[in-house]
Structure 1
Amino acid sequence: MQRRRFTLGITAAALSAGPAPTSHRIGISDVERLQRRFADVVASDHRHGGQLGIEKQAAALADAALAMQEAGGATQRVRGYLYGCAAAFRSSAMWAAIDGQRFDAAQTHMREAQALAEMAGDQALKFRIWSHTGTMYRHMGRPAQALAANDVARGLSITRRDPMFASLGLARQVAICGATGDQAGARRAYDEAQRAMDRADPHEYRPMWLLAFYDQAELDSLAQSAYMALGNFERAEFHAFRSLAGLRPHMRRSRAITTSRLARAQLEQGAAEQATRTAMSVSTDAAVQHPRVALMLREFGNRLDTIAPDTDAAGTWSEYAHTTWGPAA
């Protein structure tokens, strides 16, 4: 069972929490049913990201996992798995709230997820939650707390056992260094993250949530974020192209975010027409429905009006924005 945790396939019909089982004995099959639903939540996040519906679904599934604890007898091992499922769902609710800029909700999910992960005794989940916490504080503009939370994640024993976890912790440190203005630290953390990734055994067992998103493309995306914050737009553009070249097809949310940042990096280097074409290549669904993407594109438009007003690029973007968001844009 340990080798199979969080690796089961996705079933499209399993989108709601549903009632707790009526059996008085909770077993591995009940845990596996929850794990399949967790896989579906992760897949939805990579397709859409930041949606309130994903957050609510994940929170409801966390409650369903806890309800199973009260529904009947279970072995200690099964109870540990149930707490792990609940923690995983809460961490996904937390991430959806972070991605949607709903930080009060994210902090509530964070506290619950941390407590559940402790009860589960799952190092990988603890890493996920503390790493998400660092990202949350970074997006909230609190880089000192972001660094402290990410240090907790990086200090867990799983980062010493598996270089891929070490690499992810360092990759997120790259972005935090960008937020603190530490260019040398960002460069050093990126190099260390790259070396750790290169050392990682590709055949090692890892949880599904990690396999679903962390790779070279994600490392370069976090580097792009860092260099954008540092104002090194040429370097940000370099990492953006590397990331986009390696993104897997299911990473739709990541593609929209990276492309939006790329447009801004090109604009800041004076390539207004190219930047506008790049910004307009972001999928309309992401531009309208994903809070972070919509914000970045609106900021792009404001910056375009400042840098290149009364140009063909500005006119093209104004028409696009009117069509996409309406007159208020």
Structure 2
Amino acid sequence: MDCTRNVVLEAWMTEHGYSSNRLADTVNKAVEEFTGRPGGLDGSSVRDWKAGRVKWPKSATRKALENVTGLPAVALGFVPRGRKQVVPTSPQQEDPDMKRRSLVGGIAAAAVAAATPGTSSPRRIGMSDVDRLQRRFTEIIASDHRHGGRLGIEQRAAALADEALNLQNAGSASQRVRSSLYACAASFRSSAMWAAIDGRRYEDAKTHMREAQTLAEMSGDQAIKFRIWSHAGTLYRHMGRPADALAANDVARNLHITRRDPMFASLGLAREAAIHGTSQNHSATRRVLDQSQDAMLRATQGTYRPVWLLAFYDQAELDSLALSAYLSLGNHQMAEFHAHRSLSTLRPHMVRSRAITTTRLAHAQLAQGDADAATSTAMLVPADSATQHARVSRMLQEFGAALRAVAPDSSTTQTWIEHTAGWRIPEQDAKHTGDVL
């Protein structure tokens, strides 16, 4: 029996701090949520997955695992019955600059070898190369949802975009493969763009955006075009430029993929609602959120969707965007409603999103005069998110300032001051002001 190790699953478990026993327990609970009966996995079951002895878990287990991780089973290294497994590159836990030099150097060597006359034929670039890059893209997505906004993620994604482009010159390839390589490069560059947005490095984000847009056009891939233009709308929203944000988001919403798949339409509408919130357009915000909800309800299960969309967009994210919109409008009661609903359905892997939503909930509670509840909520944000995620850090600074303004001498304020005494502000926070919650 072929027992090629599932290094993709191993990498995900390492990235998210899961032992075999802990993952088994978490999946068992997820099975119980939708079947009513707990799963029967134990640590040895997960070790069988990692060792490659089980290549395609049973359907209920797969669904539970996908709910826990936010990724489809194939993106976790599992192989449907009847398909041949492609062995992925083992992920490296190394310095991002070293990783970039290794990637670019290795591809450059391959390109030289392909171009040098000799007895061997030029290398043929195929879909197995694309598959390998797509697995690396899954790793980037997982890192983003766990950490978000970090410079290392941005650098790693940019280096992988370079790798995809360098493969174009490393040998011969079909037009399908070349288009797929451009789509991979655009995907990585869009992740670099998103990491820069999330880290509030807006000028860097614009640089990544321009290159991503060019690569997406060369690929012809509608899904990645949507992702890039939708990210552009978010970028301009956070920069306080709602007119540009609407224009960019409209490009995404007018792509034909939004007519083919209501899930894309729902995401585009939800992000439009968040933009209307920053523009203080109450009626448009409510109308577009209703349209987004309707589109999500029309989206059918089982439709093929890219891993980046499957990993994050669901009812919890729609409610998170509604929360952002209503906070901007000053409708704090509705903001709190959507915050609680989002937190109740957030999948476990959405660590960054949970920190952001919790912080926004604290703002909504404080604005309604409940300083004690707001402070208790804000103290739920993990210290690493509070100190290492630029957007969360900024929002918590603003929360502290608002708390001191409304209750300067209260014991609650003193508790918050003591709680945050050891925090350090990310350096880039000093560079940007005026962006939105």
TM-score bucket of the superposed structures, by smaller chain: over 0.9
Measured at CA, do residues 157 and 110 of structure 1 come closer, stay the same or move farther in structure 2, by a change above 3 Å?
same
Query: Is 1:137 the counterpart of 2:236 in the alignment?
Result: yes
Contact 2:186 2:215 in 1 (8 A): yes
Query: Is 1:8 the counterpart of 2:75 in the alignment?
Result: yes
Counterpart among 224, 227, 232 of residue 128 in structure 1: 227
Aligned to 1:75: 174
* CA deviation string 1:65-124 (max 9, x = no partner): 000001111111110110000000000000000000001100000000000000000000
Measured at CA, do residues 303 and 9 of structure 1 come closer, stay the same or move farther in structure 2, by a change above 3 Å?
same
> After the TM superposition, which of the residue ranges 12-21 and 146-155 deviates more from structure 2?
12-21
CA distance in 2, matches of 1:312, 1:6: 49
Report the 3-state secondary structure (helix = DSSP H, G, I; strand = E; otherwise coil) of the residue aligned with 1:73.
coil
CA distance in 2, matches of 1:250, 1:12: 23
* CA deviation string 1:246-296 (max 9, x = no partner): 100000000000000000110111110111110010011100100000000
Query: Is 1:162 the counterpart of 2:261 in the alignment?
Result: yes
Counterpart among 319, 328, 333 of residue 229 in structure 1: 328
* TM-fit CA distance, 1:324: 2.8
CA distance in 2, matches of 1:7, 1:187: 37
* CA deviation string 1:23-81 (max 9, x = no partner): 62111111111000000000000000000000000000000000000111111111011
Aligned to 1:257: 356
Aligned to 2:80: none
Report the 3-state secondary structure (helix = DSSP H, G, I; strand = E; otherwise coil) of the residue aligned with 2:75.
coil
Aligned to 1:38: 137
Q: Where does structure 2 lack aligned partners over 5 or more consecutive residues?
A: 1-71, 78-87, 93-98, 115-122, 426-437
* CA deviation string 1:210-232 (max 9, x = no partner): 00000000000000000101111
Report the 3-state secondary structure (helix = DSSP H, G, I; strand = E; otherwise coil) of the residue aligned with 2:347.
coil
Structure 2 residue identity aligned to 1:193: S
Query: Is 1:105 the counterpart of 2:204 in the alignment?
Result: yes
Contact 1:166 1:193 in 2 (8 A): yes
Structure 2 residue identity aligned to 1:116: L
Structure 2 residue identity aligned to 1:26: I
Query: How high is the TM-score relative to the length of structure 2?
Result: 0.72
Aligned to 1:279: 378
CA distance in 1, matches of 2:392, 2:368: 21
Report the 3-state secondary structure (helix = DSSP H, G, I; strand = E; otherwise coil) of the residue aligned with 1:221.
helix
Query: Is 1:297 the counterpart of 2:396 in the alignment?
Result: yes
CA distance in 1, matches of 2:260, 2:298: 12
* CA deviation string 1:288-324 (max 9, x = no partner): 1000000000000000010111001110011111133
Judging by fraction of residues, say which structure has more helix: 1
* TM-fit CA distance, 1:202: 1.1
How much identity, in percent, do the aligned residues show? 63
Give 1 or 2 for the bigger CA radius of gyration: 2
> After the TM superposition, which of the residue ranges 12-21 and 288-297 deviates more from structure 2?
12-21
Aligned to 2:414: 315
Q: What aligned pairs does 1:169-248 form with structure 2 within 5 A after superposition?
A: 169-248=268-347
Contact 1:6 1:39 in 2 (8 A): no
Aligned to 1:55: 154
Contact 2:89 2:132 in 1 (8 A): no
Q: How many residues align?
A: 322
* CA deviation string 1:107-151 (max 9, x = no partner): 000000000000000000000000000000000000000000001
Measured at CA, do residues 12 and 96 of structure 1 come closer, stay the same or move farther in structure 2, by a change above 3 Å?
farther
CA distance in 2, matches of 1:14, 1:81: 22
Measured at CA, do residues 12 and 83 of structure 1 come closer, stay the same or move farther in structure 2, by a change above 3 Å?
closer
Q: Where does structure 1 lack aligned partners over 5 or more consecutive residues?
A: none
Aligned to 2:32: none
Contact 2:371 2:403 in 1 (8 A): yes
* TM-fit CA distance, 1:203: 1.0
Query: Is 1:148 the counterpart of 2:148 in the alignment?
Result: no
Report the 3-state secondary structure (helix = DSSP H, G, I; strand = E; otherwise coil) of the residue aligned with 2:312.
coil
Contact 2:269 2:291 in 1 (8 A): yes
Report the 3-state secondary structure (helix = DSSP H, G, I; strand = E; otherwise coil) of the residue aligned with 2:321.
helix
* CA deviation string 1:148-192 (max 9, x = no partner): 000110000000000000000001011001000011111111100
> After the TM superposition, which of the residue ranges 8-17 and 242-251 deviates more from structure 2?
8-17
> After the TM superposition, which of the residue ranges 24-33 and 48-57 deviates more from structure 2?
24-33
